[in-house]
Structure 1
Amino acid sequence: MTQLTTDAAGVYVIAVTPFHPDGRIDMESCDRMVDFYLEAGATGLTVLGMMGEAPKLTVEESRDVVARILTRVAGRVPVVVGVSAPGFAQIDALTRMVMDLGAAGVMVAPPGSLRTDDQIVTYYTQVADLLGDVPFVLQDFPLATGVQISPKVITRIFNDVPTCVCLKHEDWPGLEKITALRAPGMIDRRISILCGNGGLYLPEEMGRGADGAMTGFAYPEMMVSVVEHMSKGDADRAQDIFDAYLPLARFEQQPGLGLAIRKYTLAKRGIIAHDALRKPGAALSDLARAEVDRLIARQEKRLAELG
C-alpha cells in the first residue's frame, strides 16, 4: 500500500462526489471521474473533502465511495481521505475504515472551537496519538474553520509530530506564510506543502516554495501544467496557461455556488453524468449556466491562441 510521505508533490485533485438527480451516489460517474483525473496527470486524489459533500454522506456511503475510488485507482496514485469530525471517536472510526481499504493517509482540519496556539498544538498532538503510525495532512483553511494557525504554530506541530507529513495550505492567499515556513531554521525536516483555494494563487504559491496543489477545479489539467512548468523554471509559460483559465477559476470560487459550477462544468465535459448536489445544495440558474458556457468558450479560444 502506498503511504503519503513528505515528498508529496504535483496535483492531488479534490474529488467531487457524483450524485444522481434523486440523491443516490453515481458510482459509474465515480469511475469515469477517477479515470479523467489520472489521465489529466493527477499525482494523487483526495476524497471526502469539504468540496466532496462529505457531511452529506452516511458512514456506509463514505465507505462505499472510498472503496470504489480506491478500486478504480488500483494503487496508481496515493489517495488521501478527509476524516475531519467534531470528535475523536468519528475521526478514529473513519481513519481505521479508510486505511483498511487502502488509503495512503488522511486529512484533518482543526475544529472551530480552538482559540489559542497551545490548544491547536495540543489538538494535533492528540490527533497523532490517536492515529498512531497513520500519516496525515494538516488542513489550514481559516476561511472555513475560523481557526488561525500562524507559521510558528505550524512549525511547532511539524517539529513535534513526525506523522504529520503535509500541509494543505489554504490561507487566503497566505503567500508570506509559505515563505516563512520554507525559511531556514523553521521546520527541522522537509514537509510537503500543497495549496488549495481552487488554484487561484498557484503560480505565486509555487514561486514561494509550495510543492503543488491539493484542490479542485473543473480543469485539473491547468493545475498539472502550471506545476510542471513552474517546477522546470518556466514561469512565463506557466503564467500564460494559468491566465487562460483564470476567469473560469475565479467564477468557480464564488462562495456558496462554487461546487455547483464545478459539477456543471464536469457534467458538460462528460466526466460525470449529472451536475446534481445532494440536498441541501445550491442550484445554478439558467443565466449562471450561460455565464459558465461563455467563459469556457473564451478559455478554449485563448488556449488555441497559446498553442
Structure 2
Amino acid sequence: MLDRSAKGVFVIAPTPFLPDGALDLDSADRMTDAFLAAGASGLTLLGVMGEAPKLTQEESVAFVARVLKRVAGRVPVVVGASAPGFAPMKALARAVMDLGAAGVMVSPPPGLKGDEAVVSYIAQAVETVDAPFVLQDYPQLSGITMTAPMIARMAADPRVVMLKAEDWPGLDKLTAVRRLEAEGKMPRIAILGGVGGQFLPEELARGADGIMTGYAFPEMLVKVCELIWAGKRDEAQDLFDAHLPLIRTEVQPGLGLAIRKYVLKRRGIIAHDTLRAPGPKLTAETAGEVDYLLGRLSRVQPLKAAA
C-alpha cells in the first residue's frame, strides 16, 4: 500500500490505443516494462493524461488489471479515480484496490465554492474510497485553489498520504506545506511535483520527494532526482536543461498528450500514437518540430528506450 514515505519518480502512463480506438494491451505490457526499466519508483494510471473520461468502467478496470499483472508487485501503482459522483468513484476505487493497486488519486471537481466546500468534498472522497489517497492539486484544470492550511486540514486524515503538487506557480506553496510540517501543524506527507516536469530541480530543492508526471523520457527524471539527492545540483541541472525544450513542447495545452504519445511511439514504447476521439492530431509541421528536438536531444540521450 502507498504510504507517506513514498518518493522517487511515479510515471504517469498514457492509455495506449490501436488505430481503431480499441485498447492496445500489448503496448500496455511494453510500456510497463519500459517504465520499470527506466527506474520508475511507481506508476500512475488513468491520470489527466490517461484519457480516463473516454474509457468505459470495464475498459478502465481491464487496463489497470493488465498493468498490475505486468508490474507484479515490483512498484506501487496509483489509479486516478476522480469522477462526477461518488458512486462511480467508489466502484472504480474498489475494483482497482481489489486488483492490487496501491492507492487512488482524486482532484476536487470544478465548481466548488469556498474553502469549506473543498475540504468537505475531499473528506467525503477519502471516506468513499477508503484507501491510500493522493490529493491532486491542479488548479489549472480544476479551477480550485487549495492553500497550504487547507492541505494541512485534509492531511489530518491518515489516509491522505500524498500531495500531487501541480499549482503553477506553486513552489512557494510547496515550501509553505513543508513549513507547516516542520512547525508541527500538520503531519508530514509525501509530496510529488508534476506539471510535466517543468520545475523538477526547483521542486526537489524545495523539499519535494520526487515527481509524478508522464514526460516521455522518465529515465532523465530518475537521474535528476538521484543527482540532486547526491548533492550534484549543477550536474542535475545540466541534464535537465538538455531536455527542457522537449518538456516545453510536450506541455502545450491541447496538444500535450498527442506529442507525448508521438514521442513514446518514436521511442518504441507504444505501437501507436492514437488518441481516442475526440482528440487532436499532430500536423506534419508539429511532428517535424518534435523530430528536430529529438534529433538534438539524441546527442546526449538515446532515443530508443532500454529493453
Q: What TM-score do you get using the length of structure 2 for normalisation?
A: 0.96
C-alpha distance after superposition, 1:249-297 (max 9, x if no partner): 0000100000000000000111100111000001001111110010011
**2:172 equivalent in structure 1:** 176
The alignment yields a C-alpha RMSD, in angstroms, of 1.1
Q: Where do residues 89-100 of structure 1 align in structure 2 (5 Å cutoff)?
A: 89-100=87-98
What residue identity is the alignment partner of 1:42? A
What residue identity is the alignment partner of 1:167? L
Cα deviation for residue 188 of structure 1 reads: 2.8
Q: 2 CA distance for matches of 1:128 and 1:198? A: 26
Q: 1 CA distance for matches of 2:216 and 2:122? A: 32
Q: Where do residues 132-143 of structure 1 align in structure 2 (5 Å cutoff)?
A: 132=130, 134-143=131-140
Q: 1 CA distance for matches of 2:153 and 2:122? A: 10
**1:5 equivalent in structure 2:** 3
User: Does the 8 A contact of 1:225 with 1:238 survive in 2?
Assistant: yes
Cα deviation for residue 128 of structure 1 reads: 2.1
**2:285 equivalent in structure 1:** 287
**1:47 equivalent in structure 2:** 45
**Which structure 2 residue ranges, 5 or more long, are not aligned?**
303-307
SS at match of 1:301: coil
C-alpha distance after superposition, 1:203-233 (max 9, x if no partner): 0000000000011111111111111111112
C-alpha distance after superposition, 1:188-212 (max 9, x if no partner): 3220000111100000000000000
C-alpha distance after superposition, 1:5-51 (max 9, x if no partner): 00110000000011011101110000000000000000000000010
Q: 1:211 to 1:281 in 2, by over 3 A?
A: same
User: Does the 8 A contact of 1:139 with 1:167 survive in 2?
Assistant: yes
Q: What TM-score do you get using the length of structure 1 for normalisation?
A: 0.96
* Residue 144 in structure 1 maps to residue 151 in structure 2: no
What residue identity is the alignment partner of 1:145? S
**2:305 equivalent in structure 1:** none
SS at match of 1:12: strand
**Which structure 1 residue ranges, 5 or more long, are not aligned?**
none
User: Does the 8 A contact of 1:11 with 1:212 survive in 2?
Assistant: yes
Q: 1:187 to 1:240 in 2, by over 3 A?
A: farther
Q: Which moved more, 1:228-237 or 1:7-16?
A: 228-237
Q: 2 CA distance for matches of 1:67 and 1:294? A: 37
SS at match of 2:155: helix
* Residue 155 in structure 1 maps to residue 152 in structure 2: yes
